[in-house]
Amino acid sequence: MQYVIGLMSGTSRDGVDAALIRTDGLNSVEAVAFQFEPYPDDLKAVIADACDLAMASTQRVPSRLIDDCEELLDQRHLAAAEMVLRKAGVPANDVAVIGLHGHTIAHRADLGWTWQIGKPDFLANRLNIPVMSNMRHFDVMFGGQGAPLIPVFHRALFSNASQPVAVLNLGGVANLTFIGTDGALIAFDCGMANALIDDWMGRKTNYPFDAGGEFAARGTIDDRALQTMLDHPFFSAPAPKSLDRKDFGLDRVERLSAPDGAATLTAFSAKAVALGLRQFPVRPQRLIVCGGGRKNDTMLKMIERYSGIPTVLTDELGWDGDAIEAQGFAYLAYRCLHGLPITYPGTTGVAEPMSGGVLTQPERVVAGKIPA
C-alpha cells in the first residue's frame, strides 16, 4: 500500500478536486484526505473560452488563450496538492505518484483525439513527485472512447457489494458502470448530468447551479422539448460511447421560464440515466450514486421514478461522493505506474485491456522514490 494523489478538474468547471489515498492498485483502497480548490469566476470564463476554441478545431492548435488557461490551472493543481498533503500530515517524499487528469477542453473520440490541459512537469518539479498524466490518450489512439476511465476503480470499491450493481457518476456529464457477478465491467457516458443545468442557471438566474434541485422542483417539465432532446441519436447508439460537454445545448429550452427550463433539463438528465440502464445485460439491484449531482434531490427522485431502481449514495457506503473521481485518478495512476490495465473492451471499446499514461519524473530525484 502506497500513498498516491489524484487531481481531477471535471466538466462542471467548478474547481480542482485533490484526493490522497493509499492503495495497492488492486482491491485495497484507503481514503486519507480530500481537498476542493474552487475556481474564481474569471477562471471559469477562461476555461469556457478555451473549451470553445478547442472544440471548434479538429486537432490541437497552438493558442495563447489555452496556454494562459493552462498556467492558471497549474497553480490551482499545485495549491490543491499541497493542501491535501498538509491536511493529511503526509510528506511529499512518501507519495509514490500523482495522477493528473487535467481539464478536458475537447474530447473528440469520433475523430481519434482528446485534449487535457495541465503541465505534469510543473507539478513534478514543484512537489518533487513523479506525475502520471495523459491517461486517456493511448486508449483513444488504439480505437477506444477514452471515457469513462473510473469503472475499474468502482469495481475496487464495490467488489464486495451485492451484484449485479450499477454505479452512476453525476458530474457535468453522467456515466454508468455495471459490475457483473463475475466482476466484468460495462461502462459508458449516458448523457448530461449537471452541465446543462448549471449553464441554464447561470444564464437565467443569479445562481451558478440549482441547489438541491429547488428550481426544478418548482417548474413544469416541457414534454415536447424533452422528447426532442431525447430523440438525439446518441441515446439509441450502442455502448461503449462517450460525450463532450458541448455535445448538447440549451436551444430546445430557451423559451421556457427559469423553473420550467430547470425542470426539463433535470428530467433530460434523469431520463438519459434510465435509458442507459436499459443497455445493461441484466437489471441492477441498486444504483450507487456519486458526484455533485447526488446532492440534487429532484434529479435523484426523477432517476428512481424513470428507472424503477433504488438509489444509494456512496456516502451511505462510507465513501465521500465528492472525492470519488479524484480518488479514482490516483488509483489509475498507480495502476499505470505498475503496468496494470485501466481500460477494457467493455468500458471504452478498446480491443483488449490496456494500461496507459505518461510518467513525468521530477528533475531532482529523491533516492528510493522513483521507480526504475
Burial of 364 (0-12, 13-18, 19+ CB in 10 A): exposed
* Digitized pLDDT (tens) for each residue of the chain, 372 residues in all: 999 999 998 777 889 999 999 999 998 999 999 999 999 989 989 999 999 998 888 778 789 999 999 999 999 999 999 999 999 999 999 999 999 999 988 888 878 888 899 999 999 999 999 999 999 988 998 999 998 999 999 999 987 666 688 999 999 899 999 998 888 899 999 999 999 999 999 999 999 999 999 999 999 999 999 999 999 999 999 988 988 878 899 999 999 999 999 999 999 999 999 999 999 999 988 899 999 999 999 999 999 999 999 999 999 999 999 999 999 999 999 999 999 999 999 999 999 999 999 999 999 654 434 343
Alpha-carbon distance 113 to 104, whole Å?
11
DSSP string, 170-224: ESSEEEEEEE-TT--EEEEEEEESSHHHHHHHHHHSS-SS-GGGHHHHHS---HH
**pLDDT score recorded for residue 289:** 96
CB 283 within 8 A of CB 276: no
pLDDT given for residue 368 in this prediction: 39
What pLDDT, on the 0 to 100 scale, is given for residue 252? 96
pLDDT at 364: 65
CB contact set of 171 (below 8 Å; sequence gap of 6+):
10, 11, 12, 193, 194, 291, 292, 293, 325
Q: Output the pLDDT for position 161.
A: 62
CA distance 121 to 142: 25
CA 155 to the chain's CA centroid: 16
Per the structure block, which three cell numbers stand in for 15? 474547481
CA-to-CA separations, 6 to 70, 137, 146, 276, in angstroms, rounded: 18, 17, 18, 28
d(CA 304, CA 301): 5
The neighbouring-strand residues paired with 100 are 7
Neighbours of 232 (CB within 10 A): 14
pLDDT of residue 13: 83
How many helices (DSSP H) and strands (DSSP E) are in the chain?
Answer: 11, 12
| Model pLDDT, residue 365 | 52
Residue type present at position 207: Y
Is residue 362 classed as helix, strand or coil in its secondary structure? coil
CB neighbour class for 160 (10 Å; exposed up to 12, middle 13-18, buried from 19): exposed
Q: What is the pTM of this model?
A: 0.90
Write the burial class of residue 255 (CB in 10 Å: 0-12 exposed, 13-18 middle, 19+ buried). exposed
182, burial (CB in 10 Å: exposed 0-12, middle 13-18, buried 19+)? exposed
344 burial type by CB count under 10 A (0-12 exposed, 13-18 middle, 19+ buried): buried
pLDDT at 243: 87
Q: Which CA distances in Å does 312 have to 208, 286, 297, 309?
A: 26, 7, 12, 10
**pLDDT on residue 205:** 95
List of domains in the chain: 2-144+354-360 (3.30.420.40), 151-317 (3.30.420.40)
CA distance 139 to 71: 26
The alpha carbons of the chain give a radius of gyration, in whole angstroms, of 20
